[in-house]
């Protein structure tokens, strides 16, 4: 079983969008996939419910209740954990314990980048992160690559001690798909090809580290 934690204390950075997209990717790839929803808003749970009828369904587990770990079926191959806004490193301990890798979405603005620094510092205190036993990858999310702000933000992120493992464009595709319980991985269309390609470096990094 491989577990990927998607986390950032910053609200609205794209945790649920990344979590649901990743879960769909693994489910479409034929893996028995679970999405642990550690956020009381339960956006990811609703997304799972909307695709419950598909062959590529993802099992939602409420990660806010006691002993949530025991509800993960033994034959699960991939676990994605969607975490709540406001949670710092310590708050995430039970989820970090299970994680093989952490993805941290960051929006391309100074406010978001600066707000993510204390979160990363709190993660850096974790023993496994300290020992470099838990890889952390940043994902620049909602990029508008043609804008100066996006380009500057990407440059700024690249100077950090954590690697930027992917860049996802700002596109209504994510907004529309999540509302339907779908993802960019559920369709084989020319229009979505470039968005699927955005994921290639992230998936390659995950393959290498977990």
**Which stretches of the chain bind ligand ATP, using CB under 6 A?**
11-17, 39, 41, 43, 85, 141-142, 168, 170-171, 174-175, 178
- Of 15, 51, 182, 195, the one binding Mg ion (CB under 5 A) is 15
In the complex, which residue's CB is closest to Mg ion?
16
CB nearer to Mg ion: give 82 or 186. Answer: 82
| Distant-in-sequence, close-in-space partners of 133: CB < 8 Å, separation ≥ 6 | none
In angstroms, give the least distance from the CB of 41 to Mg ion.
Answer: 6
CB nearer to ligand ATP: give 133 or 180. Answer: 180
Q: Which two tokens stand for residue 207?
A: 């393959």
* Sequence-ordered strand ranges (E) for 7-131: 33-37, 59-62, 78-82, 101-106
Decide: is 16 part of the binding site for Mg ion (CB under 5 A): yes
Decide: is 150 part of the binding site for Mg ion (CB under 5 A): no
CB nearer to ligand ATP: give 85 or 203. Answer: 85
Exposed, middle or buried by CB within 10 Å (0-12, 13-18, 19+), for 40? exposed
Cα distance between residue 195 and residue 204, in whole Å: 15
């Amino acid at each position: 079983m491989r577990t990927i934690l998607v986390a950032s204390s910053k609200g609205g950075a794209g945790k649920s969008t990344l979590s649901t997209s990743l879960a769909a990717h693994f489910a479409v790839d034929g893996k028995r996939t679970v999405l642990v929803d550690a956020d009381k808003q339960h956006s990811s749970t609703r997304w799972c419910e909307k695709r419950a009828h598909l062959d590529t369904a993802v099992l939602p587990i409420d990660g806010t209740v006691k002993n949530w770990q025991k509800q993960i079926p033994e034959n699960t191959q991939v676990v994605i954990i969607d975490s709540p806004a406001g949670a710092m490193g310590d708050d995430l301990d039970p989820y970090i314990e299970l994680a093989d890798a952490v993805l941290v979405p960051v929006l391309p603005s100074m406010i978001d980048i600066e707000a993510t620094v204390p979160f990363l510092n709190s993660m850096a205190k974790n023993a496994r992160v300290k020992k470099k036993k838990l890889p952390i990858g940043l994902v620049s999310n909602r990029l508008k690559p043609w804008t100066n702000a996006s380009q500057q933000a990407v440059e700024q992120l690249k100077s950090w001690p954590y690697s930027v493992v992917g860049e996802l464009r700002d596109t209504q595709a994510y907004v529309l798909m999540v509302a339907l319980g779908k993802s960019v991985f559920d369709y084989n269309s020319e229009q979505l090809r470039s968005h699927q390609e955005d994921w290639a470096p992230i998936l390659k990094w995950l393959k290498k580290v977990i």
